[in-house]
Amino acid sequence: MAKWIRFEQAGKTGFGTLEGDTIAVHTGDLFAGAKPSGETLKLSGVQILTPCEPSKMICLWNNFHQLAAKNDFKQPKEPLWFLKAPNAYWPANRPIARPATYAGKIIYEGELGVVIGKKCFNISEAEAGDYIFGYTCVNDVTAVDLLRKDKSFEQWARSKSFDTFGVFGPVIATGLDPMKLSIKTILNGKERQNYPVADMFFPPHKLVAAISKDVTLMPGDVIACGTSLGAGTMGDAHNVVDIVIDGVGSLSNVFDQVLPSPYLLGAPPKPKKICVVGAGAIGGLLAAKFALAGENVTVIDQGAHLAAIQKSGLKLEWHDGKVQTARMKAVSKPSEAGKQDIVVLAVKAHFLDQVVRDIDSMLGPDTVVLTVQNGLPWWYFQKLGGQYDNHRLESLDPSGVLTKNIDPNRIIGCVVYPAAAATAPGVIHHVEGDRFPIGELDGKETARVKELHDVFIKAGLKSLVLPDIRSEIWLKAWGNLSFNPISALTHATLVDICQFAETRELAATMMKEAQDIAQKLGVTFRVTIEKRIAGAEAVGAHKTSMLQDVEAGRSLETEALIGSILEMAKLTNTAAPAIESVYALVKLLNKVMLLEGGGLKVEKVNKAA
């Protein structure tokens, strides 16, 4: 076994074998008859170059069983590959550069590189070993935000071919059995990837044979075998990334960057007057985070919760144990709040008609109305265009008061991904999540939606301005329409529903029916049903908002979460028998609760000894 290295010293390029920190200099051709010159050099006295000069670097996608299983990728019938441009080739120990023309995320991908030793075309798998010179470490650096920037064409070569993005080396190791190798990636001292070559769909010999049927492979060409689980962002100002393959070597590079501003408008926004209508789980979380960030916050609520906030402020218990108390103005009706810059409608959908009757007292000429309800919004068809433009959803706005009282030009839609609960008057407990994607109803990226994004960022939350907020609403509603009513009927948590075969199957059936409805409305889902269920399962033993309402004896969001989707099913002539059945049960449960004036909670029974 040998480790071959290329170097530069005193302006001259050379190569040789590396043992410890000593290079035995060779002459001739690295791939054909290299001979030792008798000269030796210290590694510390040379500048390391890439270990070869490829005519091309071929990179693989979807080449590992574990990664495919996690992302629900199908096993490819043949290698899926693309080219990385030669200007990207970059050696060990030299800094990776952030492109001046790109401000998005840059990710590492630790990979095994196969180095070709002899020219070949159309060879068999059995012959491939004769044409492989050895193996090297590869960091397939990627400007990931460019990859799917254009929905009509995935830009693999563009996102991966910036200068310094094709890092490989520092050596080529020969005489190895690649099937015994594992690839590790260590970012800033923490292991991020650790996966075996044996998990490949197309291991090195099979891969070389398959690719040789497409292109002539030349000595020095590198085939980067693709990456597996754990590829991620180099997100700090100073990053040290090491690709380590025992038996091959360690490829180390620094990636320094001036972190791009998280604010779309370049700086934190000036303080805003924000009124949150309904300081429950999500409304309370937002009110507290905004107030702690320096915004002038008012909340509108009722009863003991209002009294507690007025007396002691709103306590926010974050999932990591951090507890903060936010002070804010707390009132019982809109007329006491005054004019606002932003009004956040955070009450349950079925209470909106009561709230908006007096909303005018809070609206100035430029006031934005942000909706954060679960399920589909009453404004779904407003400013949509097409066949159903301005159609009113009677299940959500039966009297038309929402449509009448809130100008759609004021509205910005929002999807709520965090899970939280109001655990006591004046107390909000955060369970997980911090994402609040937002979007204009017509999909435009306006100055005001950018500023609202920056308000979320200033508060320490995550946001994203989406060109199609409705598709994201459907993605969230997809889970709500199944998990919420199933939990309300069974008193099971998310993880319980997902791990119980029959309810998991019921949820999937309801989601398939909803997907059929949405697709007739032009909506596309960016994840599969199984992945959406897996995401809910990962939240753990969380009680859905509808189950929390059942236990507290509150009116249920039946129409927003289920009825509105059934209305769309009728509108599009789509069958939805599973959704209809669950809707009937939850609707009756809601009626019984309201008539009896109580809730229902499953508690342990104290059995007599």
Q: What residues are labeled active site? A: 476
Question: How far is Cα of residue 236 from the mean position of the Cα atoms in its chain?
Answer: 18
Query: Buried (b) or exposed (e) across 290-318, using 16+ Cβ within 10 A?
Result: bbbbebbbbbbbeeebbebbbeebbbbbb
Q: Check: CB of residue 401 under 8 Å from CB of residue 373.
A: no
Q: How far apart are CA 57 and CA 211, in angstroms?
A: 12
Burial bucket for residue 263 (CB in 10 Å: 0-12, 13-18, 19+): middle
SS3 assignment for 61-115: ECCEHHHHHHHCCCCCCCCEEEEECHHHEECCCCCECCCCCCCCCEEECEEEEEE
573: left (phi over 0), alpha (psi -120 to 50) or beta: left
**340, two tokens:** 């606002």
Buried b (16+ CB within 10 A) or exposed e, 569-583: bebbebebebbeebb
DSSP string, 568-589: HHHHTT---HHHHHHHHHHHHH
**Is omega for the bond preceding 170 within 30 degrees of 0, making it cis?**
yes
User: What is residue 336's DSSP assignment?
Assistant: G
Residue 169 CA from chain centroid, whole number: 31
SS3 477: helix
Helix (H, G, I), strand (E, B) or coil at 442: coil
Cβ count within 10 A of residue 224: 25
H-state helical runs in 346-468 = 352-356, 401-405, 447-458
Distance (Å) of CA 106 to CA 33, 88, 170, 238: 40, 14, 22, 13
